[in-house]
């Protein structure tokens, strides 16, 4: 495999059929790594074909513990090792607290929080010293947005999970960090009206939305940082530090 030799590091990225997940997979592959990309739908197989050699597409719903274990097994069986795990899979169900259904609440927690746990538990026996786990958070997990109670709770849970596991796995030489994308140009945001887009940009100090490859660059850097663990790394154009600031 040109550019992805058989002894190169192996990444597993969940929620990787498009958007930030696909960009992370492409970045890792461009850096000479081999990559397993995981998502629920058939699109993940198309994305794997587009990325080319050195990429494995796996259809799996990480909210299902058995499916998560199968995804890890297929990855290790195919590549022979596992070095970096990126928990990017996520679902969003909006609505203020009185309108969020129990089903929506549970669906968000099952994928965003329990799904990450399922993947980490399945991957841990295969990770050696020097391995990296990266959880993908969200600004709302640290800063409040009305009408986002389920998503906020799930992403705040990832903060606690990351901190606890960073300590738990440190002696094994495995780092665990949290990367927090801000408002990023994706299929979802591209459908917004011009006025909605302008309103979002006005909240960001750098004055624009991010791009998925900018997040991917930071994720790759975090994976190589051996003395950083339990860290929260925002890639948000200054969005988090601007909360509470009143414009003149």
CATH number at residue 131: 3.40.50.720
Asked, for residue 242, whether it belongs to a domain, the answer is: no
List the one residue out of 46, 113, 48, 119 whose CA is nearest residue 84. 119
- The first and second tokens of residue 57, run together, are 């597409």
Question: So what's the pLDDT on residue 244?
Answer: 52
Active site residues: 151
Q: Specify if 76 maps to a domain.
A: yes
Number of domains in the chain: 1
Are 148 and 140 in contact by the 8 Å Cβ rule? The answer is yes
Q: What is the pLDDT of residue 198?
A: 82
125 within a domain of the structure (yes/no) = yes
Q: Is residue 164 within 8 Å of 207, Cβ to Cβ?
A: no
Q: Which residue has the tokens 């299929």?
A: 187
DSSP E strands, 15-119: 34-39, 55-59, 84-87
Average pLDDT for consecutive 10-residue bins of the chain (248 residues)?
A: 77 96 97 97 96 96 98 98 97 88 96 98 98 96 88 96 98 98 78 74 90 97 98 95 57
Per-residue pLDDT at 192? 63
4, 53 contact by CB (below 8 A): yes
Is there a domain that residue 235 lies in? no
Query: Which structural domain, as residue segments, surrounds residue 176?
Result: 10-229
Q: How many Cβ atoms are within 10 Å of 96's Cβ, its own excluded?
A: 10
């Amino acid at each position: 495999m040109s550019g992805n030799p058989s002894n190169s590091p192996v990444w597993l990225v969940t929620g990787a059929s498009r958007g930030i997940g696909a960009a992370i997979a492409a970045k890792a592959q461009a850096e000479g790594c081999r990559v397993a990309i995981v998502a629920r739908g058939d699109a993940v197989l198309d994305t794997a074909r587009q990325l080319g050699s050195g990429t494995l597409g796996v259809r799996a719903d990480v909210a299902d513990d058995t499916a998560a274990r199968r995804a890890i097994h297929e990855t290790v069986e195919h590549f022979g090792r596992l070095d970096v795990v990126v928990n990017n899979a996520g679902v969003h169900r909006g609505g203020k607290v009185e309108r969020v259904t129990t089903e929506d609440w549970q669906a968000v927690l099952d994928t965003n929080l329990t799904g990450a746990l399922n993947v980490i538990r399945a991957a841990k026996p295969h990770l050696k010293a020097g391995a990296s786990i990266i959880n993908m958070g969200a600004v709302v997990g640290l800063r409040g947005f009305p009408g986002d109670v389920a998503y906020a709770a799930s992403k705040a849970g990832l903060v606690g999970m990351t901190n606890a596991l960073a300590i738990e796995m440190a002696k094994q030489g495995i780092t665990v960090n949290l990367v927090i994308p801000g408002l990023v140009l994706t299929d979802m945001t591209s459908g917004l009206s011009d006025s909605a887009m302008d309103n979002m940009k006005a909240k960001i100090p750098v004055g624009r939305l991010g791009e998925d490859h900018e997040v991917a660059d930071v994720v790759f850097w975090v994976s190589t940082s051996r003395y950083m663990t339990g860290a929260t790394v925002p890639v948000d154009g200054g969005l988090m530090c601007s909360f509470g600031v009143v414009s003149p």
